[in-house]
């Protein structure tokens, strides 16, 4: 038996991909775990792990940055109204501000679900529940995320264009929903809903429609809305909100 012992369920574990193990035990999302493995931060029985490797939590000694992997005692779900100027990452080697500074009082080891660019704001989820995070982020689940985007350019024409497939770097994307919230002489504000969430997808869609993004704010994820949560503050999700986000 390893130093980790039997997990909280008391039942024997089985071989699982390391990225799934790290996710289930609240270290990072599966994508985040893959990056940690590639960076050499994960060891199994004292040997640096490789991507695609499997392990048994009960019989293998797994460490992350030298700290033994432990079971999660309690799952935590948090939403933050992220302000501009913060990186959506757990750690930044260049010493820039990260969103972790804003949720440090939660009291549990949590990590962001998905990402918002440094110059974007709005609803950002955090958890230590890896399977929940995977459900929220994976494109196959088709969870809609809605953004309010203030732009310069022909916003009215962009609504028409975004309702059609747009090719961005050999990938075809399309808004699930798009509407013009208001129009100004030089632009306007769009409501754009997507379900894929490719890197900077909304900004790239706007650029493809000859729009310059002034502000970008995520206002909802699935049925969860940002509401009147003040910028830079967070709150726990209710049990009902967690269930609603996990339902497909």
d(CA 209, CA 192): 13
Q: Pick from 138, 74, 137: which is nearest to 109 by CA? A: 74
- Joined tokens for residue 175: 């808004």
d(CA 24, CA 19): 9
d(CA 166, CA 175): 9
Strand pairing category for 234-236 and 77-82 = antiparallel
Rg of the chain in Å (alpha carbons): 20
Catalytic residues: 117
Strand pairing category for 212-221 and 121-127 = parallel
d(CA 135, CA 228): 25
For 155, list phi and psi in degrees, rounded to 5.
-65, -35
């Amino acid at each position: 038996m390893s130093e980790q012992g039997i997990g909280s369920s008391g039942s024997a574990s089985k071989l699982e991909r390391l990225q799934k193990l790290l996710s289930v035990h609240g270290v990072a999302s599966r994508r985040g775990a893959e990056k940690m493995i590639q960076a050499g931060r994960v060891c199994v029985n004292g040997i640096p792990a490789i991507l695609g490797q499997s392990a048994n939590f009960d019989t293998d000694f797994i460490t992350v940055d030298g700290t033994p992997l432990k079971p999660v005692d309690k799952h935590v779900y948090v939403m933050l109204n992220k302000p501009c100027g913060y990186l959506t990452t757990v750690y930044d080697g260049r010493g820039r501000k990260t969103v972790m500074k804003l949720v440090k009082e939660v009291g549990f080891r949590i990590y962001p679900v998905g990402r918002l660019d440094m110059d974007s704001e709005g609803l950002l989820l955090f958890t230590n529940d890896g399977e929940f995070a995977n459900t929220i982020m994976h494109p196959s689940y088709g969870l809609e995320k809605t953004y309010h985007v203030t732009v310069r350019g022909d916003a009215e024409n962009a609504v028409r264009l975004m309702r059609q497939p747009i090719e961005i770097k050999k990938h075809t994307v399309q808004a699930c929903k798009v509407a013009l919230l208001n129009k100004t002489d030089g632009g306007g504000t769009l409501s754009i809903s997507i379900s894929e969430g490719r890197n900077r997808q909304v900004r790239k869609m706007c650029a493809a429609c000859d729009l310059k993004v002034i502000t970008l704010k995520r206002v909802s994820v699935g049925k969860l809305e940002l509401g009147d949560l003040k910028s830079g503050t967070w709150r726990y999700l209710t049990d009902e909100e967690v269930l609603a986000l996990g339902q497909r």
